[in-house]
Structure 1
Amino acid sequence: MLEFRNVTKAFGETVAVNGVSLSFTPGQMVGVIGRSGAGKSTLLRLINRLVSPGHGEIVFEGSNVATLSGRDLRAWRARCAMIFQQFNLVNRLDVLTNVLIGRIGTAHTLPVMLKHFSAADRAAAGLALDRLDLLPQALQRADTLSGGQQQRVAIARALLQNPSLILADEPIASLDPRNARLVMDALRRINRQDRITVICNLHTLDAARAYCDRIVGMAHGRVVFDGTPETLTRSAIQAIYGDEHDDDAVDENLTSTMGASLVARAQPELVAVM
């Protein structure tokens, strides 16, 4: 289990995460929602220690992640794979090599940088690409792929880390609706089949409601909602996205949630397992 215990992170005078206490049950798919600047990205970056907390503990299986350094920190980052909005692929390299870079956290760095990969690693990378319907593109340069394909390559790279957690920071924010659906389908499938915990920052309520077991809403660095999609009421949305002077924000995001049924109808296989 992953736990936040009264965690605070400030950047100068700006408090990005403010006294957050949360626990994440293994195997959950959690959507984190909120306005821009609510603290969503900082929350994920605290988990894999791209930033360190100023106060509090982040505990995973009895170990305080906030105190890790050196080899232990590298091992932890390998266990919690990170997927970014902008894919973070090496454009000049082929797709297969980009996936194999996922081994850098669990293998010696020099062989990885020289592209000296074992047959077992190459087979694992091919399997990961096949799961994401990208094996035919394995030898293409990464920059020849569409945005949605590149994000699925990033997911395949994450799988090669054999992670306990997958952290996805706005993974569909720059994608069109079809590619967004393919990426979210892939994350949900991995969550269900591999029982890997997925914590995903999302900018649309329809995606959070359609794909996530649990939704965490943040505002001004604090958790203001934590529950199932069914309990995400209008008042809860109000707390996340606006106050009594900002009804337009609530109306916009409530309308977005109404699209969830359309997303679900487009994915009967997803509905069958939810």
Structure 2
Amino acid sequence: MLELRNVTKRFGDTLAVNEVSLSFPAGQMVGVVGRSGAGKSTLLRLINRLAGADQGRIIFGDLDVGTLQGKALRAWRARCAMIFQQFNLVNRLDVLTNVMIGRIGTAATLPVMFKRFPEADRVNAALALDRLDLLSQALQRADTLSGGQQQRVAIARALMQKPSVILADEPIASLDPRNARLVMDALRAINRQDKITVITNLHTLDAARAYCDRIIGMAHGRVVFDGTPAQMTRAVTQQIYGDDTDPAVDENLTSTMASIGSAIAADARQLEAAL
């Protein structure tokens, strides 16, 4: 059980997370929704300890996450894997090596720097890629893959950490609809098959309703809704997003912007190759 007890985080005069108390039973698939600046990303970073809470406690079983330092903190970050919107792969390295980097939290630093991984890690990385239908790309450079493929590599890397919890920060915000579906299908399969708790920030309510057992709505740093997809009424949506709900839930607008972004990125890669 993961618990947040009256957790608060400030950035200067901005109250990013405001006295949030939540509990996450093992094995749930949870979507966190809200407008930009609602505190969604900060919430995940507090759980992973990429940011420290100003007050309150984060508890996992008998572990007080907020007090961890050094080796114990690195072990927690391995156990609580993070997936980012921008993938955070090492572009010049091949896909298999990127996946094996997921072991860095529990492996000696020097061998990792020289890409010397145990055979067991190589086997497990290949199995993770096969599971995500990417084994045939194992020896390609990471930057030759599409955005959706790169995000699935990031998921495979997270699996190498043998996590109890996966935190996904806007994992499909920059992807086209097909790749977004593949990424969300992968996260749901991992949640169902491995019984790993998955907590993901999502830009659209449609994705949260389709994939999550539970939805948490945030506004101005506070939790304003915590319930099932069936309980997400129009009134609840307005409470989360205010009166201007269309841009926040418009799947077509999101897809169009993602397609434009993908086209720009492709043009940039072609220009870089030509230079």
TM-score, normalized by length of structure 2? 0.90
Counterpart in 1 of 2:237? Answer: 237
Code of the aligned partner of 2:148: G
User: Which residue in the other structure is 1:96 paired with?
Assistant: 96
Structure 2 match to 1:33: 33
Residue 41 of structure 2 aligns to which amino acid in structure 1?
Answer: S
- 1:108 & 1:226 partners in 2: Cα distance? 41
Residue equivalent to 1:51: 51
Deviations 1:91-110 (A, max 9, x none): 00000000000000111111
What percent of counterpart residues are identical? 78
Do residues 16 (structure 1) and 16 (structure 2) align? yes
Cα deviation 1:21-59 (Å, max 9, x = unaligned): 000010000000000000000000000100000000000
SS at match of 1:93: coil
Residues in 1 aligned to 2:187 and 2:207: alpha-carbon distance in whole angstroms: 12
Contact kept? 2:204, 2:249, Cα under 8 Å: no
CA contact (8 A) 1:84 1:170 kept: yes
The yes-or-no answer on 1:165 pairing with 2:160 is no
Find out whether 1:178 has 2:178 as its counterpart: yes
Report the equivalent of 1:266.
Answer: none
Contact 1:151 1:183 in 2 (8 A): yes
- Structure 2, unmatched stretches of 5+, are 252-275
The 1:140/1:226 distance shift into structure 2, 3 A limit, reads same
Secondary structure class of the residue paired with 2:104:
helix
Q: CA deviation at 1:250?
A: 2.6
- Asked if residue 120 in structure 1 is aligned to residue 115 in structure 2, the reply is no
* Secondary structure at the counterpart of residue 41 of structure 1: helix
The Cα of 1:193 is off from its aligned counterpart by 0.3
Q: CA-to-partner distance for each residue in 1:211-257, whole Å, 9 max, x for gaps?
A: 00000000000000000000001111011000xxx3xx23455665x
Question: What SS does structure 2 have at the residue aligned with 1:184?
Answer: helix
Instruction: Give the counterpart letter for 1:16 in structure 2.
Output: A
Q: Which piece of structure 1 moves more, 150-159 or 106-115?
A: 106-115
Measured in 2, the distance between the counterparts of 1:154 and 1:252 equals 28
Q: Deviations over 1:70-110 (max 9, x none)?
A: 11100000001100000000000000000000000111111
Distance in 2 separating the partners of 1:102 and 1:40: 24
Q: 1:150 to 1:254 in 2, by over 3 A?
A: closer
The residue type paired with residue 61 of structure 2 is E
How many pairs align?
252
Q: Contact 1:237 / 1:254 at 8 angstroms: preserved in 2?
A: no
SS at 1:42 equivalent: helix
Partner of 1:140: 140
One-letter amino acid of the counterpart of residue 74, structure 1: R
Give the SS at the match of 2:17: strand
Q: Aligned equivalents of 1:173 and 1:251: distance in 2?
A: 16
Q: Is the 8 A contact 1:44 1:167 kept in 2?
A: yes
Cα separation, 1, equivalents of 2:232 and 2:25 = 20
Please tell me the residue identity of whatever aligns with 1:187: L
Alpha-carbon deviation of 1:64?
A: 1.1
1:217 is paired with a residue whose SS is strand
Tell whether the 8 Å contact from 2:81 to 2:161 is kept in structure 1 after alignment. yes
Q: Does 1:72 align with 2:72?
A: yes
